[in-house]
Every structure is written in structure tokens, then in C-alpha cells.
Amino acid sequence: RAKSVHRGTFQVFEARMDEDVRRRRALEQDLRGALDRGEFEVHYQPQVDLATESIAGFEALVRWHHPARGLVDPGCFIPVAEETGLIVRLGAWVLEQACAAAARWPVPVRVAVNLSPVQFITPGLPEAVAAALEGSGLAPERLELEITESVRLIDNDLNLAVLHRFRDAGIQIALDDFGTGFASLSYLRAFPFNKIKIDRSFVQDLGHDEGCLAIVRAATRLARDLGMETIAEGVETPLQVLQLRQFGCTVGQGFLFGRPVADGEVALMLGAAALDVACS
Ligand code: C2E
Ligand code: MG
Ligand code: MG
Ligand code: MG
């Protein structure tokens, strides 16, 4: 009896596995043609100078409009794009879009673009970045590349050389999701980032967790001592802004300041900002 129950459970489990594999294959298949069908769109989330509350830049975040499923979250398709290598073409496309959009904005603020570790291990990244800058005419100083901590990205001399080339060209380099990886401190020692982005998980619990408070305070201090700026992700409340300011964190990004928006709305947000400056 026990055996048959087990077998039954296993069959359900197997069926679910099959279903997962099928869904995954379908997603992969859809993803392959999505770029050519023009289903991706880049949205932009404002990054705000905490001292002046003016917009310092925008982070480019890719969106997938799936014909049947609607809007698919990047958290769901970026990993698949990475495993299949599609991230290389998609990443180059995002770079191109983001640089072209920023070059047209009415105020010369920065645009931050996420890079996948897979883009680093594939030849052609420096060329893709150079092409995006040349094609758009965007000044390299206005481009910021966000890199997450990942295994051996920084242990590799070739990757380090690429990062140095970017920095020498005037491009800004930010360490994304700081604190969630397992190598944060070795990363800071290995490469002179311009900025560290404190992960949302630490910012969220700022108000009610002494541990988070200590970590964010120490991270900001560490960044400052190393000559780096800090940006806090996932800022949702005015209290968080007060605390972040106290710690000397310079920039904030989160729903409090604005959700990611389409390019058309960026111009409006910046237009209003430009008007504010002109009137004051
Ligand atoms: P990330 O780089 O850490 O991006 C920030 C994510 O946090 C975005 O989610 C953004 O919408 C979300 N967020 C911002 N403010 C708040 C807030 O106040 N509260 C909450 N709860 N969430 C907030 P999104 O757009 O879903 O992107 C998820 C991740 O997908 C990104 O995390 C990034 O790692 C990846 N991603 C997005 N676009 C690209 C891309 O073009 N290339 C690569 N390689 N990865 C990308
Ligand atoms: Mg990012
Ligand atoms: Mg991040
Ligand atoms: Mg994050």
C-alpha cells in the first residue's frame, strides 16, 4: 500500500516536472523570436539626488510584452535569457535603446544599464558598449553600467581589464544589489567602482531593524571612505529618505520617487524638472 501511495505521489511529481519543463521550453522558444518581433521595451526609473531631490539619472529596466501572457517580469525571463545566451543580443539591444533614449532627453542626466555576467564571459562586450555610445552620440560620462556580484567576475583579469577600459573611457561603473552576494568586500578591493547600490532588502527594513540600520550605515561609510558614491534601491518611505540622508547616502531610487516609466514619460519628468530650474 505504502508503495502505491509513494508511486502515486511520484507520478504527480513527475507530471509537474513535465509541466515545468514544457512551460520552460515554451518560454525559451518565445524568447528566441521576441527581439525580432519587437516585443521588448525599455522602461526607466528615476534616481534622485537625496540632498536636492532633483533627478540624477534613470535606470533602464527591460520589459517583455508577451503576445499571450501579457507583461512578463524580467525576474522570470532574464535567467532564461542568460542560460540560453540570448542575453547577449538582448543586452546589446537594451544598451543601444538606453543610450539612444538618453541622448534625446531634454536634460543631460545619466542612464544606468544592467549588465549580465554572461555578457562578460562572451566576447564583444566592449564593442557593443562602444557601438551604443557611437550610434547615439551619448557622452560616455552619461552612461553607467550596473554589475552584480557574481562568481569570479572580478577574479578574472580579462573582465577586470574590460572594466578598467570602461572607466578610462569615462563610463561610470556601479556595483548592483550590494550586500546580497557573498563577495562584496573582495569586489570593492578588486575594482574602483564609482558607486555602490545598496540592495532593496536592506533599505526596506531600515525603519524597524537595528541590524539593517547598522549595515546600511556601515556600507555608506565604507563607500565614502573608498571614494565611492552610494545609491539606495527600493526607497518607499520618507522615513527611509531621512535615515539615508543622515548616513550620507547620496542617491535614492524607489517607488517613493517613481516607478519605471516608458521613455515618453521620462521627457515629461525631466521637462518639468527643467522648467522648475528655469522658474526658480
Ligand atoms: P535591479 O537591477 O536590482 O533593478 C531594480 C528592480 O527593483 C526593478 O525591478 C525595479 O522595478 C524594482 N524596484 C525599484 N524600486 C522599487 C521599490 O521601491 N520597491 C520595490 N518593491 N521594487 C522596486 P524589475 O524591473 O522587475 O527588474 C528586476 C531585475 O531584472 C533587475 O534588478 C535586474 O537585475 C534585472 N534586469 C532588468 N532589466 C535588465 C536588463 O536590461 N539586463 C539585465 N542583465 N538585467 C536586467
Ligand atoms: Mg540594476
Ligand atoms: Mg539593483
Ligand atoms: Mg536589487
- State the 10-residue block means of pLDDT for the chain, 280 residues long: 58 74 89 94 98 96 94 94 95 98 97 95 94 98 93 80 95 93 82 94 90 92 94 96 95 97 95 61
CA of 61 to the centre of ligand 1 (A): 6
CA of 199 to the centre of ligand 3 (A): 6
Q: Nearest residue CA, atom 20 of ligand 1? A: 234
Query: What lines the ligand 1 site, CB under 6 Å?
Result: 45, 61-62, 73-75, 78, 91, 94, 114, 116, 146, 176-177, 200, 233-236, 253-255, 260
State what percent of residues in the chain have pLDDT above 70.
92
What are the C-alpha distances in Å from 190 to residues 156, 161, 175, 226? 10, 11, 12, 12
Give residue-wise pLDDT tens across range 178-194: 988 777 788 888 888 99
Nearest Cα residue to 178 out of 125, 245, 249: 249
pLDDT at 149: 83
Total number of residues shown for the chain: 280
pLDDT at 278: 55
pLDDT at 154: 77
pLDDT at 4: 56
What are the C-alpha distances in Å from 244 to residues 47, 224, 259? 14, 13, 19
Q: Quick one: which atom of ligand 1 is closest to the CA of 73? A: 26
Identify the nearest ligand to the CA of 253 by its number: 1
Query: Structure pTM?
Result: 0.91
pLDDT at 3: 52
∠ CA(248), CA(267), CA(263), 5° rounding?
A: 95
Q: Nearest residue CA, atom 10 of ligand 1? A: 260
Q: Quick one: which atom of ligand 1 is closest to the CA of 78? A: 45
Give residue-wise pLDDT tens across range 13-32: 677 778 888 888 888 999 99
pLDDT at 5: 57
Q: Quick one: which atom of ligand 1 is closest to the CA of 148? A: 34
Q: For residue 144, what is the enclosing H or E element?
A: strand 143-148
Identify the nearest ligand to the CA of 147 by its number: 2
